[in-house]
Amino acid sequence: MKDKLELLLLLTYVKGIGPKKMELITTKVNSIVELKEKFKETSLQLDNQTKENLEKIMNNFCIEETILKYKEKNIKILIKEDPDYPMLLKEIYDPPPIIFCKGNTDLLKNLNNIAIVGSRKGTWYGKKVAQEMGEFLSKNGYTITSGMASGIDAWAHKGALEGQGSSIGVLGCGLDVIYPKQNEKLYREMEEKGLLLTTFPLGTLPLSGNFPARNRIISGLAKGVVVVEASLKSGSLITADFALSQGRDVFAVPGNINSVLSTGTNKLLKEGAIVVSKYEDILSEYNVQYSCNQQRGDINLTSVEKEIVKATMGQEFSVEYLVLTTGLEISQILSNLITLEIKGLIKKIGFNTYQWVGKVDF
């Protein structure tokens, strides 16, 4: 296995050689030494430029020095034959022959893995949902996988790190490249409490062509993918497509019909994605029992309070909005808003305007 790992490591540095060509080469030779001895017949199916790239890397590659670089950065290299290679990822068509990991690789053993993805420009609502969902599922033993992008991805990771199942971040670059820069703090937290994973070797920059490959790994590591917010051209829809082709479940969070960032998620729902109207819906899909008392300390709501929850869906709202959408008397609304404040679920942020600060389901 050591010889094959070294061979695959060399091949990751060759421009023009992806997973399929790696597999092709490793069916013909089992080590770097063998590759050098049988280079002519091994490279027959490669185009001239790729053949030239391979020969150049092969003749200048120092395997001992390269492996030392990974060890110094506490990066673990896994190939498919390794017992720590993730089982779910191994099940997909054309799984990556080699992956690089930094952090808690025990997370790869948790088959209860859900991916949460969405727009880099996520709204306040979307980010809140991603964070709460990540935390909720993580506290129920699920590992949350996402792409370490800004917006929805970052907030899903942040929420998951607060729970027990922690989080896996899949990169579209090398593990020595922090992208985007504003996620540096999150990157460090993931190294310490979660796991960072990539199919790209050290030094690989976050080029646009890398991200579809990254999205395929995100869905491949999970049993289901939840799309929180996405436009019609969002990369999250690519992840959802990969999920469907891999036999994974696709969930979507309903969004504002007037928001561009909901067009993608609402399209998924029209096409048959599983609707997530509350976080327990995901657990229910996998027959996981959940006690409401676990999360909210058995808060009892009046019938009017429940109407307010339904009408506002956790967003900022005004008294006027509630009068228009619920049909309730203003006196009923005002008295119940006071009790919701007492229960610590909402707070006043302006003249007759409120914001949810606690979580409630029923």
Diameter over CA atoms, the chain:
86
182 and 53 share one domain: no
127 and 244 share one domain: yes
Residue 315's pLDDT is 75
- The number of folded domains in the chain is 3
Query: Is residue 160 one of the residues assigned to a domain?
Result: yes
Query: Is residue 141 one of the residues assigned to a domain?
Result: yes
Of 71, 91, 121, the residue that ends a domain is: 71
Query: Is residue 79 one of the residues assigned to a domain?
Result: no
Query: Is residue 63 one of the residues assigned to a domain?
Result: yes
Tell me how far apart the alpha carbons of residues 34 and 87 are, in angstroms, rounded to a whole number. 29
Residue 167's pLDDT is 98
- Torsion sign over Cα 228, 234, 235, 241: positive
Q: Each residue's pLDDT tens digit in the chain (362 positions)?
A: 899 999 999 999 999 999 999 999 999 999 999 999 999 999 988 999 999 999 999 999 999 999 999 999 999 999 999 999 999 999 999 999 999 999 999 999 999 999 999 999 988 889 989 999 999 999 999 999 999 999 999 999 999 999 888 999 999 999 999 999 999 999 999 999 999 999 999 999 999 999 999 999 999 999 999 999 999 999 999 999 999 999 999 999 998 888 899 999 999 999 999 999 888 899 999 877 554 444 444 467 888 888 888 888 667 889 988 988 888 888 888 878 877 876 778 888 888 888 887 766 65
Query: In angstroms, what CA-CA distances link 87 with 115, 222, 360?
Result: 15, 10, 35
121 and 12 share one domain: no
320 and 279 share one domain: no
Of 259, 275, 290, the residue that ends a domain is: 290
49 and 157 share one domain: no
Residue 360's pLDDT is 66
C-beta pairs of 256-259 under 8 Å, 24+ apart in sequence: 256/125, 259/123, 259/229
**Residue 170: which of 120, 117, 128 has the closest Cα?**
117
**Quick one: how far is CA 255 from the chain centroid?**
19
Where do the DSSP E strands lie in the chain? 76-79, 98-103, 113-117, 143-146, 167-170, 195-198, 224-227, 249-252, 274-275, 317-318, 346-350, 353-356
Query: In angstroms, what CA-CA distances link 77 with 104, 171, 212, 261?
Result: 13, 15, 22, 37
Which tokens hold the place of 18? 């992806």
Query: Is residue 3 one of the residues assigned to a domain?
Result: yes
208 and 266 share one domain: yes
330 and 302 share one domain: yes
Query: Is residue 234 one of the residues assigned to a domain?
Result: yes
> How does strand 143-146 pair with strand 224-227?
unpaired
Of 49, 71, 93, the residue that ends a domain is: 71
Query: Is residue 81 one of the residues assigned to a domain?
Result: no
255 and 321 share one domain: no
Q: Is residue 184 packed enough to be buried (19+ CB in 10 Å), middle (13-18) or exposed (0-12)?
A: exposed
For residue 350, the enclosing domain spans 296-356
Query: Is residue 92 one of the residues assigned to a domain?
Result: no
Question: 191: domain CATH number?
Answer: 3.40.50.450
Residue type, 171: L
267 and 165 share one domain: yes
* Residue 118: how many other CB atoms lie within 10 Å: 35
Question: 329: domain CATH number?
Answer: 1.10.10.10
272 and 328 share one domain: no
189 and 232 share one domain: yes
251 and 180 share one domain: yes
